[in-house]
């Protein structure tokens, strides 16, 4: 390795131990253990009210945890006020000081720490976020995207161990948000500081973060790399909140082998045992899940062409909507319910119109199994709302 920087300068581990927050009788965050490795881009993802912002604020010191401790780079900072923590926050709606110009906003942290010649650092930082010429403007004279970059510069200039971002892109329009996601990712790679990003936008979390913690009801439902969470969700909430999932209530008919055999709507489905998140025994219930884009459709007349070994369900097209890159079908499968299928628009089958009989099929290894004791639609509405 050519890296000579000390761990402090490239950000420190954030370690939360048994941290929780209650307001009266309401528990915002249940006791939570979480380690955010130094230098990573970590996202706390969840719908509003799931406790993600409270968790972030406890790291910043803006909220006092009811129980538990916060460690930064190996040091217990639970009792320290925010101004004594090597942590900086990019606030939702930025919270720029309206009475100070951009230069003074960015210089604020340096000045408070008694640094005399701030100009070179401030100019360098403004260049990093491409706002050099705006130095003497007031925040309200800048566009939303520019204000957002000022907020990032104002926090980053202090070289914090951890940079906390509280829905930093929430106020921007979609196009600018995409652009800023890449921009933030670039900055994070460049400075190597640990970023903890709170968002309700699953696409944002997946685009930017190395590790995503999906929160729901004050608890972390699942933690992992974006692809891992998407391909292998552990709970119905994660399956529905991150993208869309088809969840099929099924009965286990055969367990013990490499694949579980499931019965659903008269069909037999294969589920690799290692992709089943719950202990399955013959006669028990599981939820078999598959992502809509993993499913292919064949017209009933071509049923013979479906590759052998694929999971297959037969139903009727209920709805087909063309959205450019793909066509989204809703297939009504008797005894199973509605199945959502996204077909890429390469050689669309013109016969797949509403009413047509069709076979939906997918590779068994794209199936995942979840505990049937959960709410099958948990997080479904929230995911759509956030997307």
Residue in the structure block whose two tokens are 């909430």: 237
Q: What separation in angstroms does the CA of 199 have from each of 63, 212, 387? A: 18, 10, 11
Q: Whole-number minimum distance, CB 112 to another protein, in Å?
A: 4
Interacting span for another protein (CB under 8 A) from 30-38, 58-66, 210-218, 330-338: 58-66
Structural contact between residues 103 and 133, judged by C-beta atoms closer than 8 angstroms: no
Residue in the structure block whose two tokens are 């009727």: 316
State how far the Cα of 167 lies from the Cα of 362, in Å rounded to an integer: 37
User: Which of 108/230 has CB closer to another protein?
Assistant: 108
Considering the rule CB under 8 A, would residue 62 count as an interface residue with another protein?
A: yes
Considering the rule CB under 8 A, would residue 154 count as an interface residue with another protein?
A: yes
Considering the rule CB under 8 A, would residue 80 count as an interface residue with another protein?
A: no
Interacting span for another protein (CB under 8 A) from 33-41, 150-158, 184-192, 214-222: 150-158
User: Which of 57/310 has CB closer to another protein?
Assistant: 57
Q: Whole-number minimum distance, CB 38 to another protein, in Å?
A: 20
Indicate which single residue of 55, 158, 222, 311 sits in contact with another protein (rule: CB under 8 A): 158
User: Which of 167/343 has CB closer to another protein?
Assistant: 167
User: Which of 112/274 has CB closer to another protein?
Assistant: 112
Q: Whole-number minimum distance, CB 347 to another protein, in Å?
A: 48
Indicate which single residue of 68, 82, 192, 272 sits in contact with another protein (rule: CB under 8 A): 82
User: Which of 155/333 has CB closer to another protein?
Assistant: 155
For 317, phi then psi, to 5°, come to -70, 125
Q: Whole-number minimum distance, CB 387 to another protein, in Å?
A: 27
Number of residues binding to another protein, judged by CB under 8 A:
26
User: Which of 97/322 has CB closer to another protein?
Assistant: 97
Considering the rule CB under 8 A, would residue 152 count as an interface residue with another protein?
A: no
Indicate which single residue of 60, 142, 215, 333 sits in contact with another protein (rule: CB under 8 A): 60
Interacting span for another protein (CB under 8 A) from 57-65, 117-125, 141-149, 188-196: 57-65
Q: Whole-number minimum distance, CB 65 to another protein, in Å?
A: 16
Interacting span for another protein (CB under 8 A) from 86-94, 292-300, 354-362, 376-384: 86-94
Q: Interface residues for another protein in 232-271 (CB under 8 A)?
A: none
Q: Whole-number minimum distance, CB 91 to another protein, in Å?
A: 5
Q: Interface residues for another protein in 338-377 (CB under 8 A)?
A: none
SS (H, E, C) the chain: CCCCCCCHHHCCCEEEEEEEEEECCEEEEEEEEEEECCCCEEEEECCCCCCHHHHHHHHHCCCCCCEEEEEECCEECCCCCHHHCCEEEEECCECCCCCCCHHHHHHHHHHHCCCCCCHHHHHHHHHHCCCHHHCCCCHHHCCHHHHHHHHHHHHHCCCCCEEEEECCCCCCCHHHHHHHHHHHHHHHHHHCCEEEEEECCHHHHHHHCCEEEEEECCEEEEEECHHHHHHCCCCHHHHHHCCCCEEEEEEEEECCCCEEEEEECCEEEEEEHHHECCCCCCCCEEEEEECHHHCEEEEHHHHHHCCCCCEEEEEEEEEEEECCCEEEEEEEECCCEEEEEEEECCCCCCCCCCCCEEEEEECHHHCEEEECCCCCCCCHHHHHHHC
Q: What separation in angstroms does the CA of 169 have from each of 95, 223, 356? A: 13, 22, 43
Considering the rule CB under 8 A, would residue 78 count as an interface residue with another protein?
A: no
Considering the rule CB under 8 A, would residue 137 count as an interface residue with another protein?
A: no
Considering the rule CB under 8 A, would residue 314 count as an interface residue with another protein?
A: no
Q: Interface residues for another protein in 87-116 (CB under 8 A)?
A: 87-89, 91-93, 95-99, 108-109, 112-113
Interacting residues toward another protein by CB under 8 A: 60-62, 81-84, 87-89, 91-93, 95-99, 108-109, 112-113, 138, 154-155, 158
């Amino acid at each position: 390795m050519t890296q000579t920087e000390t761990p402090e300068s490239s950000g420190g581990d954030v370690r939360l131990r048994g941290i929780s927050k209650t307001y009266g009788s309401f528990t915002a965050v249940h006791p939570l253990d979480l380690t955010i490795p130094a230098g990573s881009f970590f996202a706390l993802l969840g719908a509003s009210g799931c406790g993600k912002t409270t968790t972030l604020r406890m790291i910043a010191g803006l909220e006092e945890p009811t129980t538990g401790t916060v460690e930064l780079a190996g040091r217990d900072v639970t009792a320290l006020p925010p101004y004594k923590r090597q942590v900086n926050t990019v606030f939702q709606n930025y919270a720029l000081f309206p009475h100070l110009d951009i230069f003074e906003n960015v210089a604020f942290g340096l000045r408070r720490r008694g640094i005399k010649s701030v100009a070179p650092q401030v100019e360098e930082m403004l260049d990093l976020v491409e706002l050099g010429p705006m130095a003497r403007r007031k925040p309200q004279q800048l566009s939303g995207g520019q204000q957002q970059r000022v907020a990032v510069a104002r926090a980053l200039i202090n070289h914090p161990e951890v940079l906390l971002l509280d829905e930093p892109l929430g106020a921007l329009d979609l196009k600018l948000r995409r652009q800023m996601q890449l921009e933030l990712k670039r900055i994070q790679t460049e400075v190597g500081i640990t970023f903890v990003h709170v968002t309700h936008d699953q696409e944002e979390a997946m685009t930017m973060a190395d590790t995503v913690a999906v929160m729901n009801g004050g608890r972390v439902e699942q933690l992992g790399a974006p692809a891992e969470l998407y391909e292998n969700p552990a709970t119905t909430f994660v399956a529905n909140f991150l993208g869309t999932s088809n969840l099929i209530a099924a009965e286990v008919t055969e367990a013990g082998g490499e694949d579980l055999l499931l019965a659903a709507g008269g069909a037999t489905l294969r589920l690799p045992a290692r992709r089943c998140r719950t202990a399955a025994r013959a006669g028990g219930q599981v939820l078999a899940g598959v992502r809509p884009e993993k499913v292919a459709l064949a017209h009933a007349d071509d049923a013979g062409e479906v590759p052998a070994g694929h999971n297959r369900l037969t139903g009727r097209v209920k709805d087909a909507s063309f959205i450019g890159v793909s066509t989204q079908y809703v297939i009504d499968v008797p005894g199973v319910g509605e199945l959502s299928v996204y077909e890429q628009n390469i050689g669309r089958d013109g016969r797949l119109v509403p009413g047509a009989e069709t076979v939906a099929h997918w590779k068994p290894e794209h199936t995942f199994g979840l505990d049937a004791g959960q709410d099958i639609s948990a997080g479904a509405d929230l995911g759509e709302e956030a997307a």
